[in-house]
Amino acid sequence: MRRRNFIVSALGSTAAASIPFGVTQLLAPKVVQAAEGKYLLPPGALLNLDKFNAACIGCGVCGEVCPPKCIQFHKREGAKAAQTPYINPEEKACILCGKCMEVCPTQALTVTKRSKINMGIAQIDRSACYPWVDKGICGACVAICPLGTKAIGFKMWNQYRPIVKDACVGCGLCVEICPQPSLPIKIVERSNGTIAKHLI
């Protein structure tokens, strides 16, 4: 009987001890389902998120060598995304220096030619962009682009309305520098196009 009571007691203690862990798992967010434009993979990343998460060992070296310190790491998302890198261009964007690709010890990031990088593509909401709604002159996004007018330029006959081109690689510098509080420019998957859907 004593042994039985001990086993019952041990099981009860184990169950009670697991409650905080279970509650934490319920309250913590699951793996980020890329809040559009806020969780960009670093340049040279495997485009398949599952393969990227599997390849990344969470060593953090990419973040250490990043000059603008734009690379952050998932913490509470759990599962395979824990400690994997991401970039939120609203806070700090990628400058396409390539250092993270050079130091990655796995195939999660591979050295890729600057023009072949695919982090997404910039998309402009013309209903909010200052020049597009005749609320002022800007052009900050065009001025900051590391790929120049090959990636973003101005609409013909209007030197202030920005137009994103196919050469854009989605570094997010245009997002970081945009002065409009609502951020009418963001980085999206290439298939979503360069103009906000509700305007097409």
Instruction: Give 150-185 pLDDT, tens digit per residue.
Output: 999 998 777 789 999 999 999 999 999 999 999 999
pLDDT given for residue 10 in this prediction: 47
- pTM, rounded to two decimals: 0.78
Mean pLDDT lowest for which of 29-33, 51-55, 101-105, 133-137?
A: 29-33
Please compute the mean of the pLDDT values over residues 75-97 and round it to a whole number. Answer: 87
Domains and CATH numbers, the chain: 49-114 (3.30.70.20), 120-199 (3.30.70.20)
Judged against a pLDDT cut of 80, whether residue 16 lies above it is answered with no
**How confident is residue 124, by pLDDT bands cut at 50, 70 and 90?**
very high
pLDDT given for residue 34 in this prediction: 47
CA distance 45 to 101: 8
Cα 187 to Cα 20, 68, 149: the distances in Å are: 38, 18, 17
pLDDT given for residue 88 in this prediction: 97
Chain centre to alpha carbon of residue 76: 16
Cα 116 to Cα 17, 44, 89, 167, 171: the distances in Å are: 51, 9, 19, 9, 12
Please compute the mean of the pLDDT values over residues 66-85 and round it to a whole number. Answer: 86
pLDDT given for residue 134 in this prediction: 87
pLDDT given for residue 8 in this prediction: 45
CB 146 within 8 A of CB 67: no
Q: Average per-residue pLDDT in the chain? A: 84
Q: For residue 39, how many other CB atoms are within 10 A of its CB?
A: 20
